[in-house]
Amino acid sequence: MITVTAATGQLGRLVVADLLERGVPASEITAAVRNPEKAGDLGVRVVKADYNEPDSLVSAFAGTDRLLFISGSEAGSRAQQHQNVVDAAHKANVGLIVYTSIAYADRSSLALAVEHKATEEAIQATGLPFVFLRNGWYLENYTGQVAQAVENGVVLGAAGDGRVSPATRADFAAAAAAVLTDPVPGSIYELGGDEAFTLTELADEISRQSGKTVVYRNLPEAEYAQTLAGFGIPQPFAEILADSDRGLSAGELFVDSGDLHRLIGRPTTSLSEAVGASLKSE
């Protein structure tokens, strides 16, 4: 049995679909989700698994050979939530934990990495076989903002001339499905897209494809956090995002291991393809 947590999220849905496409029988996939009513269309077995409810997790993981533990989305609350997941996996004696972490989790200075590092350590402390998928930035973090960038003529950030090598959720999901179907226990993959770019190059690509002039405006970290908060992003999360750009400027979201390309067996989606798809969908 392959169990996928957070399978109703954007990444989890893609992983379940990818597993089915690879020929894993639906009866051998369990979607372990906080809101089972959102999972009816996944086409696999569904059980309740809320990171805040330890009992739900232990019963959800019973009989699991391979667990894909997708990190939760409530940054700041994940230390206890993730410990609950790890404890439940230990109690259920799952055969393998595959965890979606962050680039360079063991040495990253990003505020976002603190909970991932703690989770990796908790998993290792169980003694269970594991694989860490240290996912870099999602390309959608940028291509989701293309329409806004075209409208305002500007991409904002605090990343300076740092290079980032993001990949689409679909590419990260394909890597997770590949590992779940053919795991090498003990592996730690640093995952990023084949192509790296600065945010100036991102703005240039949007300009090229949209025909409108878009420039990158670099802000000091604190000012960028205030600007994001002004757009309605909760202050603590705005600060985490600005801090991530600080890390990006220092190369902490630049991954050139080639692990993602190797795992999925094809080139990752390029910036130009992703910007093109984003402009087409508007």
Pick the closer one to ligand NAP by CB: 95 or 237. Answer: 237
Positions touching ligand NAP (CB under 6 A) are: 6, 8-12, 34-35, 38, 50-52, 70-74, 81, 100, 135, 137-138, 141, 169
Nearer to ligand NAP, 100 or 165 (CB): 100
Q: What Å distances lie between residue 26 and 2, 21, 44, 173, 282, CA to CA?
A: 10, 10, 5, 17, 34
Beta carbon nearer to ligand NAP, 8 or 210:
8
Minimum distance from CB of 249 to ligand NAP (Å)? 16
Q: Are 192 and 260 in contact (CB under 8 A)?
A: yes
34 or 66: CB nearest ligand NAP: 34
Q: Closest approach of Cβ 7 to ligand NAP, in Å? A: 7
Please report where in the chains the tokens 């997941």 appear, as a residue.
85
Cβ(110)–Cβ(139) below 8 Å: no
* Closest distance to ligand NAP from the beta carbon of 204 (Å): 22
Q: Which residue is nearest to ligand NAP (CB)?
A: 9
Query: What tokens were used for 268?
Result: 């990752």
Query: Which C-beta is closer to ligand NAP: that of 34 or that of 210?
Result: 34
Instruction: Supply the minimum distance, in Å, between the C-beta of residue 8 and ligand NAP.
Output: 4
- Residue 98, sorted as left (phi over 0), alpha (psi -120 to 50) or beta, turns out to be beta
Instruction: Give the whole-angstrom CA distance, residue 123 versus residue 85.
Output: 9
> For the packed helices 169-181 and 10-21, what is the interaxial angle rounded to 10 degrees?
50
Shortest Cβ 32–ligand NAP spacing (Å): 8
